Amino acid sequence: MVDKKKPTIHDVARVSGKSLGTISRVLNEHPSVSIKARAAVEEAIKKLGYTPNAIAASLRTRSTKLIGMMVTDLSNPLFAIMANTAENLLQESGYSLIIANTHDNSDAEVMLIELFIKRKLDGLILSLHDEKNPKLEKILKSISVPVVLLDREMSLPFDAVMTDHEHGMRQAVEYLLGLGHTRIGLVTVSELASPGRGRIQGYAKAYENAGIEFDKNLVRCGSLDADFGYQEAISLLGLSGPPTALIAGGNQILPGILRALTRLEISIPDDISLISCDDTPLSELSKPAITVIDRDISSIGTAAAKLLLRRLEGSDDGGARQVVLDTDLVLRASCGRRDD
Amino acid sequence: MVDKKKPTIHDVARVSGKSLGTISRVLNEHPSVSIKARAAVEEAIKKLGYTPNAIAASLRTRSTKLIGMMVTDLSNPLFAIMANTAENLLQESGYSLIIANTHDNSDAEVMLIELFIKRKLDGLILSLHDEKNPKLEKILKSISVPVVLLDREMSLPFDAVMTDHEHGMRQAVEYLLGLGHTRIGLVTVSELASPGRGRIQGYAKAYENAGIEFDKNLVRCGSLDADFGYQEAISLLGLSGPPTALIAGGNQILPGILRALTRLEISIPDDISLISCDDTPLSELSKPAITVIDRDISSIGTAAAKLLLRRLEGSDDGGARQVVLDTDLVLRASCGRRDD
């Protein structure tokens, strides 16, 4: 069933009656080929089922029309939404998106960026685990293709799509303080990356503005997964002075906190108030529905693709640009007044 | 900041004092290089920060150590879990996984497989939208690298990891029939791919075994997304003889059905019984928690990677192999007795 004899460029020359030079120009989309010659070559290629050796071709053209996206955790649905919207725009300009997963591992990040460079990708969209990793800085310093960072800050002059996490968290904590909560537990991602730092700064700022000192033991930074959320919620609720409100500082932390509340038979909002970050089916459809610090995730992908395309199409060779997204506090039934 | 003068293989020769031939053998991991010569070359490479041209290198070695995975919808968390576990195993053998998203689009599937072939990937893991698409069959027929299909049946001799969706759905419908439900609505994915067909066959089989004829209007096949779930649930519940139980035939259909029930103020399990497919935080943490047809998603990724590695390492050149996963019905509080 498998056709063993693969057609070569010489077969294309024989069938089309055109020279290897003409065929090469057609394959490389060189403008100086007549319409007639192009048609003859394309017909021969189609007839023979000839596949040009893309590796050899890209040695000549130096463009692979591939964009690489690196994410810290593919199971986070936010990345899939960003990838989808970025891809839609990139495809319109003839680029394909390939995605690699680093599992929040700094070594994997370095290895995959090396791979992307070696494979001559045309541009990179990066969500990094540790934006201060010196090995990563070193390799990214020497990169010659455009890079867009997702929600990360580096000392290198890359374009970036950021979210104002500080503002979002400050607003959420101010709302809870306004409801009378003074012991607010926050479980969020590590401070190695900008979202973790921004959220903690916003939390501290809200307390500072209210003139209240906060208990540092109520802030737990580590990772963005459900297990971390579960474990820290159990720990926080077991304190002698437990929090009266919790904030899941990441959409994947939420299921862990909900599991802990179910296990301890603590009900929302009577026993505890709860706020999460980024709206998901779980926050929307929980009973009661959960107040969230929301943002337009799909616009992150669109903004990243736009920044990249401006560089790729040569319409932007200026300094690094930053697009900063705002957040909204979407109020639902998961927060109650606390007057003690 | 960017070092413009990139070191070449000639710089490596100069610094290491070794010939281009020796350096090439080191780069290609050729066995006939002395330990001393290898060390000298590697030290020079490190010192210079030399990056071999991987495209040229792969022209020589014919192996890219890259596996491509194609998924129909990256925002489906099941694919992320499969990708994670497949990747863990593949990495142990020195392969990297890159992922591409087809958005359930047959043309994108053909385009991306062409891309994977052109880029000389070493193997493919494919979840296809339409397993009968003739264009897809044609291109896959001529493929020379190993392919593993995820939950798909083709006439081509590829390895596959399947799930016994028919058995899972039959068990769920039999359970509901046993509770006295005779009008069971099913919302599931299109019949173009094996999971949709399997689920519908299982549904029909359960009714057949019980000697009850089912109303074809209660079975809605289309897509795996929440909007389809919402729209079909609204339609089913608006029938003059509405179903007394609903099955979400896909984890992403569930949020759509839950939105419809919330909108119509229909409560689970008093007004309607509900079963979903594949356990997610939403099915687990809904109130009440939702009965699911469950399977071990992570073992799908592991099985796919194992099948691929057997071919890549040459330990299996026999005919196509199929691994079939079983499902379990996980009983929760979302189903009630119906005696009318």
Give B160 to chain A, closest Cα distance, Å.
19
Q: Which two tokens stand for residue B208?
A: 């057949």
Residues of chain B found within 8 Å of residue A142, distances taken between Cβ atoms: 2-3, 49
Could you read off the pLDDT of B250-271 as tens digits, one per residue? 999 999 999 999 999 999 999 9
Give A209 to chain B, closest Cα distance, Å.
36
Residue ranges of alpha helices (H) inside chain A are 9-16, 20-27, 35-48, 54-61, 77-92, 106-118, 134-141, 165-178, 194-210, 226-237, 253-263, 281-285, 297-312
Could you read off the pLDDT of A193-249 as tens digits, one per residue? 889 999 999 999 999 999 999 999 999 999 989 999 999 999 999 999 999 999 999
Q: Is B144 on the interface with A (CB under 8 A)?
A: yes
Could you read off the pLDDT of B95-116 as tens digits, one per residue? 999 999 998 888 889 999 998 9
**Pairing of β B123-126 and β B147-150:** parallel
B44-55 burial: b if 16+ Cβ within 10 Å, else e: bbeebebebebb
**Pairing of β A328-330 and β A291-294:** antiparallel
DSSP 8-state class, residue A325: E
| Amino acid A63: pLDDT | 77
ipTM: 0.77
Residue A75 has pLDDT above 90, yes or no: no
Contact A262 B281 (CB under 8 A): no
Q: How far is CA A140 from the centre of its chain?
A: 18
Find the mean pLDDT for residues B86-94. 92
First to last CA, chain A: 78
| Amino acid B52: pLDDT | 62
Q: Which two tokens stand for residue B239?
A: 């029938």
Contact A322, A150 (CB under 8 A): no
- Pick from B235, B223, B190, B206: nearest CA to B293: B206
Give B118 to chain A, closest Cα distance, Å.
5
| Amino acid A4: pLDDT | 45
> Residue B12: how many CA atoms within 13 Å on its side-chain side?
25
Residues of chain A found within 8 Å of residue B145, distances taken between Cβ atoms: none
Residues of chain A found within 8 Å of residue B98, distances taken between Cβ atoms: 68, 98-100
Could you read off the pLDDT of B10-36 as tens digits, one per residue? 788 888 888 877 887 777 666 677 878
d(CA B164, CA A46): 40
Could you tell me the pTM of the whole model?
0.80
Contact A100 B100 (CB under 8 A): no
B201 pLDDT band, cuts 50/70/90, is very high
Residues of chain B found within 8 Å of residue A97, distances taken between Cβ atoms: 100-101
d(CA A248, CA A257): 7
Q: Which two tokens stand for residue A50?
A: 């000839």
Coil, strand, or helix at residue A204?
Answer: helix
